[in-house]
Amino acid sequence: MEAPPDPQRISGKDFLAFVERTLEFSGADPVSAAYFRFPKRSVILSLPVDLDSGAVQVFRGFRTVHSIARGPAKGGVRYKPGLSLEEVETLAALMTVKCAVMDLPFGGAKGGVDVDPKQLSRGELERLTRRYTSELLDLIGPDKDVLAPDLGTDEQVMAWILDTYSENRGTTNAGVVTGKPVALGGSLGRKQASGRGAAYAAARVLPAYGQDLAGARVAVMGFGNLGRHAALAFHELGAKVVALSDSSTGLHAASGLDVPAVLAHKQKTGALQGFPAEHLPQEALLGLEAEVLLPAVDSKMLHAGNADQVRARFVLEGANAALSREADDLLKERGVVVIPDVLANAGGVTVSYFEWVQDASNFFWTEAEIRGALEAHMKRAVGSVLGEAYRLGVDLRTAAYVIAMQRINQATHLRGVYP
């Protein structure tokens, strides 16, 4: 069996292949397609940081703005070992698609640093974050490029970015980042948004294919922010979460896991290891009997070497580019319904949009209002993709990209070419 060259790397070729498939359906003109294939701007940063030892280490950072056709750029900041410009540029383009599919007034962006944040002290992490922000001062802002958490970063990192930006500007402008602490203008419900959005997407898709969500068996690979909140949301919606995994182990219970109890164990011990259930390797979750498989760790979790193991009827692509192009093709040939990342994990950017709006107006919503707005927005967007898939006779990923390309094409056409 073919194995991926590097299961942790996101391929721009895979992404562009998905784009190419949609051109015949979307009607996008060559100018719009050209704008889409190349980012508006990419910068590579040299980031010297004083370490606690007294030494200075230089880290490599990146920030890409893919598009501003539909509004300011929006995208996360990831701290990840081996992060490359190709990965950042691909994820920025994916964000452009995601925002367009969700009909949010943003273009895509992404950035980060080639670093393992677990190897840094809190002080080192803060100094790295502030240096990264200071290098981008003239390029970011609530009306230019809005940052957010991603792999390896959290609300504390966003707080440091906000403070660095504000101190240099002489005024606090909370809208430069989303996913920040509520005390600094963050939104209630933002932490849960990616996971809950995934569950809401599945709740809209499954009935369209004759499958009730209530009682459906769900296997979740990855127990980070998205995975844990998706599992809890599925549990609350009446699905049966039969498997969960993190880097330490996988858990399985055919009758369903007590998700709140698993969450409590994880919070107390820091790992799923030791929870009273059947333990198995994370990879084994691929072959479990389940209606829904949610891969939520990193890119290319499913590839040509393991896609044939999948027994679920639906794959909910929680991580960005969790499926390689080959895996996507193999699953489609077998009749597996893939709910693509641009829908499955769009809850995070949707509530980030709500946060950006709240910061601009200085008027904040209740958590119940956030959840209600997220559910309505997710189901409306998924409904549009389902309708387009039915109309064109294509899979959900192709339908989502068609909708995105049509909206981007319209914005690009209306704005014209400057100068």
Q: Please list the residues that pair with 107 across neighbouring strands.
A: 73
Paired sense of beta strands 107-114 and 217-221, if any: unpaired
User: Which of 180, 202, 203 has its CA nearest to residue 191?
Assistant: 180
Instruction: State phi, psi for 316 to the nearest 5 degrees.
Output: -100, 105
Instruction: State phi, psi for 84 to the nearest 5 degrees.
Output: -125, 165
Rg (CA), the chain: 21
CB 4 within 8 A of CB 303: yes
Catalytic annotation on 40?
no
CB 409 within 8 A of CB 97: no
- DSSP letter assigned to residue 141: B
Q: Please list the residues that pair with 241 across neighbouring strands.
A: 218
- Cα angle, residue 107 at apex, residues 100 and 382 outer, rounded to 5°: 20
Distance CA 153, CA 356 (A): 19
Helical spans, DSSP H, in 142-292: 155-169, 190-208, 225-236, 259-269
Q: By three-state DSSP, how is residue 59 classified?
A: strand
Write down the catalytic residue from 74, 98, 110, 300.
Answer: 110
Distance CA 6, CA 303 (A): 10
Q: What is 251-311 written as a DSSP string? A: EE-TT---HHHHHHHHHHHSSSTT-SSEEE-GGGGGGS--SEEEE-SSTTSB-TTTGGG--
Active site residues per annotation: 110
